Amino acid sequence: MTDLSIYFQPLSSPNTYAENQIGSKIQGYFHDFPELNGPACAIFSIPEFRGAQKDKQQTPVFRNAFYQLHPQTNWTAPLYDLGTIEPGASVEDTYFAIANVVSELVKQKIVPIIIGGSQDLTMAIYKGYEKLEQLVNTCAIDRSLDIGSAEASLQATNYLSHMLTQRPCFLFNHSVIGVQLPHVCTSELELFEKLFFDTCRLGEFNQDFRLAEPHLRNADIISIDLGALKAADLGLNSGAANGFTAAQFCQITKYAGISDKVTSIGFFTQEALGQLGGALLAEGIWYFLQGYFSRVGDFPFGGKSDYAKFTVFMDEVARELVFYKSNKSARWWMEVPYPPQSGRRFERHHMVPCNKSDYDNAMNNELPDLWWKTYQKLG
């Protein structure tokens, strides 16, 4: 395994924690860099804010609050805290370090939990998968789409354009949960439709969380902009007037953790969070870990014998739609055909997470939107 210690600054000496608190269980980089073994999760922070046009500031103070929380009995895999990646001489140096660390951790089946820093760092995480030559899906928790212009330098507000124009491109699908239309221009929404990307508006989420869950389950990379939360719930005097509540934030991170496909997650902010915001971030990380340690080995790891198969003939496309329901978790997927000449390139992307309502709609001869979008990308 590549020596990752060269990228990190160690943590300050830990406080004393009770035996039943995370602080006494975690393997942190306090003196010697921990010996990493996967499957596992690894937390590290990156105070890099140049992509948000901010002066240097500290990442959210979350560790003491996180270390005081209690692990559950099913937390059996190692949990590491690797310390801090300090900003490089240029922001590109920081991106390079993040990409190398993420690539190596994912290769070793260790899930990186990245605490930023501004959301342009999502591009650096994505480049880590590029090194693995792995076609990926990304999911952002955000009130805006962050497309911007690829002609401008990489920033928190245009990282998606840079991901799309990177060659070779390893991005298969992108979805955004929590979109607020007052913060999105119509041209960006139209481009999303042309790219067959997915959105779940905040209002839709509030009405039915199940509309968002398949997007979390379909992602390899989760990018959370903490600015999508209500400013009041983060203890801020400025920021989002509307947004996710603290409880919804923890619900999202738990379901992100449960997804067997998610292999990295980033929490990003452009504002300096105080004690309340740091405590909420700590709980969000805790719920992600609780989800991670509750994984049951569904797709892409389970064989089709672990699923009940349902077939529906659709008049609209003159073909059969095939649905699968997991015997382990009762979650649903639908199978989307792809050209045989594509080989194994799309093997991880033709089984699309969905809800039972998609099956019910197909039974009423209504073609699921997720099926159609995926079919267009695979064709």
The one-letter code for the residue type at 278 is: G
Could you tell me the pLDDT band of residue 349, with boundaries at 50, 70 and 90?
low
pLDDT at 77: 95
Same domain, yes or no, for 276 and 132?
yes
Place of tokens 């809800």: 355
Is there a contact between 3 and 39 (Cβ–Cβ < 8 Å)? no
| Res 344 pLDDT > 70 | no
pLDDT at 36: 96
Is the whole model's pTM more than 0.85, yes or no? yes
Place of tokens 């994505």: 126
Same domain, yes or no, for 74 and 190?
yes
Same domain, yes or no, for 326 and 268?
no
Tokens of residue 239, six digits: 């920021």
What is the CA angle 279-282-288, rounded to 5? 145
What is the CA angle 282-226-357, rounded to 5? 95
- The pLDDT tens digits of the residues spanning 161-174 come to 999 999 888 999 99
Mean pLDDT of 64-88: 95
pLDDT at 156: 93
Mean pLDDT, the chain, integer = 91
Going 117 to 141 to 29 to 61, the CA torsion angle's sign is positive
Domain assignment present for 228: yes
DSSP symbol at 98:
H
Is there a contact between 256 and 295 (Cβ–Cβ < 8 Å)? no
Same domain, yes or no, for 223 and 312?
no
Q: Is 88 exposed, middle or buried (0-12, 13-18, 19+ CB in 10 A)?
A: middle
pLDDT at 129: 95
* CA dist list (Å): 327 to 109, 291, 297, 311: 25, 18, 11, 17
> Would you tell me the crossing angle of helices 246-258 and 275-292 to the nearest 10 degrees?
30
Could you tell me the pLDDT band of residue 13, with boundaries at 50, 70 and 90?
confident
Q: Could you tell me which residue, 217 or 58, shows the higher pLDDT? A: 217
| Res 14 pLDDT > 90 | no
Rounded Cα–Cα distance for residues 80 and 66 (Å): 13
Mean pLDDT of 318-337: 90
Tokens of residue 372, six digits: 């159609």
Mean pLDDT of 179-183: 94
What is the CA angle 143-273-267, rounded to 5? 50
Lowest mean pLDDT among 51-55, 138-142, 246-250: 51-55
Same domain, yes or no, for 286 and 308?
no
Residue-range definition of the domain harbouring residue 308: 304-378
Same domain, yes or no, for 147 and 75?
yes
- The pLDDT tens digits of the residues spanning 289-314 come to 999 999 999 887 777 788 999 999 98
Is there a contact between 377 and 336 (Cβ–Cβ < 8 Å)? no
Same domain, yes or no, for 317 and 367?
yes
| Res 355 pLDDT > 80 | yes
Domain assignment present for 357: yes
Same domain, yes or no, for 371 and 338?
yes
Mean pLDDT of 71-85: 96
Could you tell me the pLDDT band of residue 119, with boundaries at 50, 70 and 90?
very high
